[in-house]
Every structure is written in structure tokens, then in C-alpha cells.
Amino acid sequence: MNQFASNDWRAWYDQLVKPSWTPAPQTIGLIWQILYPIILVCFVFVLVQVVRGKYPGRVLIPFVVNLVANLIFTPIQFGLRNLPLASVDILIVWASIIWMILAVRKYNRWVAWAQLPYLVWVSIAMGIQFYMTLMNA
């Protein structure tokens, strides 16, 4: 049975010890609904610039790393229910955002600036994730 379809992930998540400042799951979902279009637009823009030869291919690498790490977080956290591995993954997401900013800022400042809300949210989410990992070991 698909763990996401049955919503049993929600019962598991609700019983975890979390910091008092953890946003409600609906708020977390809303934040991602705002961030995912920004992430997608930036990724596609950089991809197109690399394909056109306007940016070197190495600029795309942190965007790909970030996209993969971001996409596997939910299956790790809620499918496998592996808090330590999810903590490693979110650290990779966070580090790759910084890498993206550093890689692209020379070529396009708006793409670099567009990563800042993503960096802020992932920094907060990483604090929540590390807390949950330590408190639920």
C-alpha cells in the first residue's frame, strides 16, 4: 500500500517531537507552493542558457544536485521515515543552494537573488529537521 495515499505518514509526522516554532503542515505546503515555481523558473532559465552556450555547463551542476536532493527528501522523510538520512539530504539541499548562488551570480544576479527566499526557508527547515532527528532518535 502506498504510504502517501493512505495518509499514515501524517499520523507518523504528528507524533514526532518537533520544535515549538514548527509551522503547521498546511503552512509548510504553502511555502513550497510559492518556492517551487521560483526554483523551476530558475532551473529552466539556467538550463536554457547552458544549452545556448551563454553559461558554462558547470553553472548547471549545483542546480541539478539541488533538484535531485530536493525531490528525494519527501520519499526519504515520509516514505522511508528515515530522519537521519533526511537530515543529510536537507544539508545537501542547503549547501547546494549556496553553491547555486555562487555559481550563477557572475552570470545572472536575478537568478542568484531569487534563491534567497529558498535559502531562508531551507535554513529554517534544516533547523526543524535536525531538531526532530535528535529528539526522536
- Taking the mean position of all CA atoms in its chain, how far away is CA 122? 6
Whole-model pTM?
0.92
Residue 20 binned pLDDT confidence (cut-offs 50, 70, 90): very high
pLDDT at 64 (0 to 100): 98
103 burial via Cβ count (<10 Å: 0-12, 13-18, 19+): buried
Residue 7 binned pLDDT confidence (cut-offs 50, 70, 90): confident
Residue 8 binned pLDDT confidence (cut-offs 50, 70, 90): confident
| Residue spans per domain, the chain | 24-135
Give the span between the Cα atoms of 136 and 118, in whole angstroms.
Answer: 26
pLDDT of residue 120 exceeding 70, the answer is yes
The answer to whether 63 touches 42, Cβ cutoff 8 Å, is yes
Whole-number mean pLDDT of the chain?
A: 95
